[in-house]
Amino acid sequence: MSGKLHASERLEIISVISGFFGSAYMILGLCALVARTSGECLTRITPGNIGMSILLLSIGAVLLSSPTTFRKNIILSSAASLVGSLLSITAMVVQVLDVGATWLDDIIRSQSFGRGDIVAGLLRGDAFLGYFMLLVFPFVLKTVKEHIIR
Amino acid sequence: MMIPLALVRPGSTVRVIEIRGGRGVYSKLRSLGIIEGKILKVISSINGGPVIVEIADSIGSSPRIVLGFGMCMKIFVEEA
Amino acid sequence: MSKKEGYIVALAGVPNSGKSSIFNKLTGGRAWVGNWPGVTIEKKIGTMRINSIEIEVVDLPGIYGLTAYSLDEIIARNFIVEENPDLVIVVVNATNLERSLYLALSILELEANTIVALNMVDLAEEQGIVIDHEKLSELLGIPVIPTVAVTGSGLKKLRELILEYVGRSKGRTNIVDYGYDLERAIRDVEKILQENVPEIIRKYPSRWISIKLLEWDEDVIRKVKSYAGGNEVIRKVEKIRAELQNKIDDLELFMTERRYQTILNIVKEVIKQTKAKGVTWTDLLDSILTHRFLGIFSAIAVLYMLFRFAFEISTPFVDLFSILINGYLHNRILGLKFLPSWLASLLADGVTNGVGTVVSFLPLIMMFFLGLAFLEDVGYMTRIAYLVDKLFSKFGLSGKTVIPLVIGFGCNVPAVMATRTIEDENERKTAALIAPLATCSARLPVYMVIAYAVFRQVAGAVVLSMYIWSVALALLVALALRKLVFKGPSAGFVMEMPPYIMPRSDIIGMKMWERSKRFLYKAGSVILIGVIFIWLLSVTGPSGFLGANALSSPRLLEHSWTGLLGKAFSETIFRPLNWDWRISVALIFGFIAKEIVVGTMAILYGIGESGLPAALAKLHAFTPVTGYAFMIFVLIYVPCIATIATIRSEMGSKYAVMAVAYELILAYTLALAVISFGHLLGVM
């Protein structure tokens, strides 16, 4: 009995973590939209960009569905954590690769590329949140593998 | 009660009673193992759109099959 | 083995049985790709060598049975009965024995010399399914060898078996017992065949022909009727069928059921299920990825990342290619003093620049197809097809069409070819004709230049709007085509959704290369010819040869045929659109390939490509309205002559002409609409 309780506790933890990051993605996604249309909104980590806004909001929606479906459908809830973190890590990898590619491109075309651009690129919202999701991913994967997959 | 597969709620398990439609439709479904008498599990569906089913009474794992809405209106099933 | 050389082995299997992997492993990936006679379904032939004996391996289409309802199935069974391969290898999916066995039984009924490769036994065991392959071999009466194609396990044994069994003849099998009444009917029909058309049973197995006649298989009926005395046979069979139908009302259904009964009996004896079905990774992932809302969010995120991966991360490599080809190579050729100046110009300005611009897109195309092949291989694209099916069905298409469309965002040529996988003919033709509306990677630079020159702050959104137009127009044109040209109901959407698997690098690599190759081929063939033609028109004019440097001199170019043509266009049909002759020339060149448009504009305005947006803005070459009209025009009018050539080779000249016509009319009409709308709002 206690083992079962433990399992559901662990699953609840990952759904709460997903909810937390889901909200962060949502806020950044909305910010990217606001920054695009009018005024400033955390401009240092979210350049106004519709594509990026859509990406952040989509990942946010998937992650947020984890805590909201936890009571109703445990499989859906843990799947949301799993898929959401996979998406977020992929987004981070793509952004990091993009920073590398831009840097390489500037070398090829021998233009100047400031260190600041690299740092700003690596700290952009979609990369920044991805680092954290990469940290929690092993825990998500392990929990899901042990308690959901049969 | 016999209803078209398109109207079955996801999660239900149903038995195929009748397949209406041309021989082409018929044979396509048959070669996929969907024939009268088979038990299908409806995995998920989109309202007015396609349905994902699994053949529930097959031995081994059944790959999922996506059936378009039109196809699902030709497959009549009842609660199993 | 009776003969030494020239063996033919056919490879059959249900879709997703790992047949392609086995084919690749047996032939070492070297394959010759052609078409089956008379149809545009791909035929793959490879050769394998065992102990210095060369064996030709023919990859049959992935099929579930051998009925007369699907083109793929007719092709497969005709190959087996007409070409008499020396051996048929049936690749059986161990995770779903039932469905694979239906095909295996159908092939056995054809009395072909058959062996079974029981593939994916590792996956089956993971799912708790243990198959007694020796028992299976005993029940089927043919050799069965367990394999794992991906790792190559069992392949050595399979080769040995091929060598041992190839060329053997296979006798009659009564693997399916159709019950007293039908078995008697089958014997009666066989007797009728023997008496009336003895030639046919020398060529085809008589039991099989009899079974198919009783099933009223139209293809076999046609075959029988083509023999003298055939009509007599059909009349007699009709009588026997009528008699049988007193006892069995649906013969075809009854026979299918008997086959399934046989399969079920076999399956029960050979399978041990050690684990109960539980929640699998596929169940888990699909609960989100096929969810009606969350699935769509995930799909948007995945596709957006695919685009970023391809378009942004390839930039340095595209630039490197372009610097090497259009800069270095171009200058080196121009510097070759021993060449006459016109030839140096042809090679440098024409061939190298034109083809080079196209080829420098190769890294982008390869990365796009790499990402896409990955998504296809793990099994994700079928989920996207499921998600969009409802929307697409409103436009007379099925969800499967999404795959060629997505490919089209990379390059339209492989997109047109990818429509082959759509079974329904009307749908396939519609898909091939709308594929050019998918805005391929070559059109993006044009949008970028115009957007940054005219729209500045909202450039990103304007470029994005082109992608939205692209999808919307593709769907609307599809609807129009389905309503006016390719009428008729949809055949119905049926698609297998395989479990997710770990990506396999060899298959992804091969798929990426196959599509990228078509892009390269396009650059090397039709586009090369087009570029030479354009070069010729540009260095000559009414006054004769203008000099080799015409292509780099806007002033000279103005007096060339191209310049005059551009002027003729800008003063006549493009007049309402307010595009000057230089833009018109760029569009004429763009007919060959969109990759050339930006480069042409750069030459005509006498500046480098990177300075082009600023220069266009300074010269006021475009207003927002004429600029947007230009982008719309570029989106719609003929993508490149290679795409048209592909439509022609896939469907015939009639459809190629139709594609060009509708694209030109639609492009012009919509561009004009944008201009008129601009006038209406007073923003001109």
* pLDDT tens per residue across span B28-79: 787 777 888 888 999 989 988 999 998 887 666 677 899 999 889 889 999 8
Range of the domain at A128: 2-147
Residue C460: partners with Cβ closer than 8 Å, 6 or more residues away: A49, A50, A51, C451
pLDDT score of C537: 86
Residue at C420 is within a domain: no
Domain assignment present for C50: yes
Number of domains in chain C: 3
Helix (H) or strand (E) holding C6: none
Q: Structural domain of residue C134, as residue ranges?
A: 7-165
Nearest alpha-carbon partner for B58 in C386, C133, C93, C114 = C93
**Residue C2, pLDDT score:** 42
Averaged pLDDT, C197-206: 86
If you write DSSP's letter for every residue of B50-71 in order, what string do you get? Answer: -EEEEETTSSSPPPEEEE-HHH
> Above 70 in pLDDT, residue A2?
no
The residues that bridge with C13 in the sheet, in sequence order, are: C91
Nearest Cα of chain C lies from the Cα of A108 at a distance, in angstroms, of 7
Beta bridge partners of C497: B64
**pLDDT at residue number C3:** 46
From CA C445, how far away is CA C390, in angstroms rounded? Answer: 33
CATH assignment of the domain containing C212 = 1.10.287.1770
Q: Is A108 on the interface with C (CB under 8 A)?
A: yes
Q: What is the pLDDT of residues C426-483, one digit of tens each?
A: 899 999 999 999 999 989 989 998 998 888 778 888 998 999 999 999 999 999 999 9
**Contact check, Cβ <8 Å, B60/C273:** yes
Q: Is the pLDDT of residue A111 over 80?
A: no
User: How do residues C564-582 score in pLDDT, each as one tens digit?
Assistant: 999 999 888 888 888 888 8
Q: Which residue has the tokens 């990369």?
A: A127
- C158 and C13 share one domain: yes
Residues on chain A touching C464 (C-beta within 8 angstroms):
50-51
Q: Do B65 and C496 make contact, defined as CB atoms within 8 angstroms?
A: yes
Q: Could you tell me how many CB contacts below 8 A there are between chain B and chain C?
A: 145
* pLDDT tens sequence across C596-616: 888 888 878 877 677 788 888
Do C81 and C20 lie in a common domain?
yes
Interchain proximity A61–C297, CB inside 8 Å: yes
The pLDDT-based confidence of A44 (bands split at 50, 70, 90) is low
Q: Which amino acid is present at A111?
A: Q
Percent of chain A with pLDDT over 70: 85
Asked if pLDDT for residue C298 goes beyond 90, the answer is: yes
C122 and C239 share a domain? no
Interface test with B, best of C103, C260, C265, C290 (most B CBs within 10 A): C290
Among left, alpha and beta (phi > 0; psi -120 to 50; other), residue C84 is left
Is C75 found in the same domain as C224? no
Q: Residue C31: which H helix or E strand, with range?
A: strand C31-35
How many separate domains does chain A show?
A: 1
Give a yes or no: residue C2 inside a domain: no
Residue C499 has pLDDT above 90, yes or no: no
* Sequence-distant (≥ 6) Cβ neighbours of residue C284 within 8 angstroms: A75, A78, A79, A82, A144, A148, A149
Cβ–Cβ under 8 Å, residues C11 and C57: yes
At A1 the pLDDT is 38
Q: Which of residues 248-267 of C touch A (CB under 8 A)?
A: none
Rg for chain A, CA atoms, rounded: 18
Whether C151 and C186 share a structural domain? no
> For chain C, what percent of residues have pLDDT higher than 70?
96
Domain B3-79 is in which class? mainly beta
- Closest CA relative to residue C270, chosen from C134, C89, C68: C134
* Touch of A by B (3+ CB pairs closer than 8 Å): no
Q: Is A117 exposed, middle or buried (0-12, 13-18, 19+ CB in 10 A)?
A: middle
Indicate the average pLDDT of chain C: 87
User: CA C264, CA C98: separation in Å to the nearest integer?
Assistant: 7
Residues C212 and C65: beta-carbon distance below 8 Å: no
Classify C143 in phi/psi space as left (phi over 0), alpha (psi -120 to 50) or beta.
Answer: beta
| C574/C653 same-domain check | yes
Contact by Cβ (8 Å): C359, C593: no
Residues C570 and C620 in one domain: yes
With respect to residue C363, please indicate whether it lies within any of the assigned structural domains. no
Percent of chain C with pLDDT over 90: 34
User: Domain segments of chain B: what residues?
Assistant: 3-79
Is the Cβ of C305 closer than 8 Å to some Cβ of chain A? yes
Query: Which residue is associated with the tokens 């000057």?
Result: C580
Residue C227: inside a domain: yes
How far is the C-alpha of C568 from the C-alpha of C562, rounded, in Å? Answer: 10
Asked whether residue C80 carries a pLDDT value surpassing 60, the answer given is yes
CB contact under 8 A, C127 and B61: yes
Across the strands, what pairs with B16?
A: B77
Nearest CA to C451 among C671, C627, C668, C633? C627
Residue among C301, C577, C638 at smallest CA distance from A126: C301
Residues of C in contact with A109 (CB under 8 A): 319, 323
What is the rounded distance in angstroms from the CA atom of residue C257 to the CA atom of residue C253?
A: 6
Q: Tens digits of per-residue pLDDT, C356-365?
A: 877 888 899 8
What secondary structure letter does DSSP report for C498? P
Contact (CB<8Å) B46/C127: no
Identify which has the larger pLDDT, C372 or C620. C372
Residues C448/C451/C457/C460 CA torsion (nearest 10 deg): -50
pLDDT at C631 over 80: yes
Whether the CB of C309 is below 8 Å from some CB of chain A: the reply is yes
Smallest Cα distance from A2 to chain C, Å: 22
**Is a pLDDT exceeding 90 seen at residue A81?**
yes
pLDDT in tens, C152-195: 889 999 999 998 888 887 767 778 888 888 999 999 999 999 98
Is residue C637 very low, low, confident or very high in pLDDT (cuts 50, 70, 90)?
very high
Q: Is A47's pLDDT higher than 60?
A: yes
Residues C152 and C192 in one domain: no
Please report the pLDDT score of residue C251 as a whole number: 83
- CA–CA separation, C161 vs C164, rounded Å? 5
CA distance C609 to C615: 10
Token pair, residue C633, equals: 């025009």
Burial label, C179 (beta-carbon count in 10 A; 0-12, 13-18, 19+): middle
Q: What is the pLDDT of residue B60?
A: 61
Q: How many residues does chain A have?
A: 150
Is C379 contained in some domain? no
Give DSSP secondary structure letters for A40-86: -SSTTT----HHHHHHHHHHHHHHHHHHHHTTT-HHHHHHHHHHHHH
pLDDT for A3: 45
Give the pLDDT confidence score for residue C493 in this predicted structure: 85
By the 8 A CB rule, do B64 and B53 touch? yes
Residue identified by tokens 């080809």 is C325
Are both C116 and C210 inside the same structural domain?
A: no
Read off the pLDDT of each residue in A80-87 and give the average, rounded to a whole number. 96
Distance from the Cα of B1 to chain C's closest Cα (Å) equals 23
Which among C53, C84, C268, C27 is positioned nearest to C163, based on CA atoms?
C53
The neighbours of chain A, by the rule of 3 or more Cβ pairs under 8 Å, are: C
Torsion of CA C270, C276, C281, C284, to 10 degrees: 140
Length of chain B: 80
Q: How confident is the model at residue C263 (pLDDT cuts 50, 70, 90)?
A: confident
- pLDDT greater than 70 at residue C6: yes
Residue A48: predicted pLDDT = 63
Tokens of A125: 């919202």
pLDDT in tens, C485-498: 998 777 778 888 88
Tell me how close the Cα of B28 comes to any Cα of chain C, in angstroms. 8
Counting as contact any 3 or more CB pairs under 8 A, the partners of B are C
In a domain, C538, yes or no: yes
Q: Tell me what the mean pLDDT of segment C143-151 comes to.
A: 90
Q: How confident is the model at residue A16 (pLDDT cuts 50, 70, 90)?
A: very high
Distance CA C662, CA C657 (A): 9
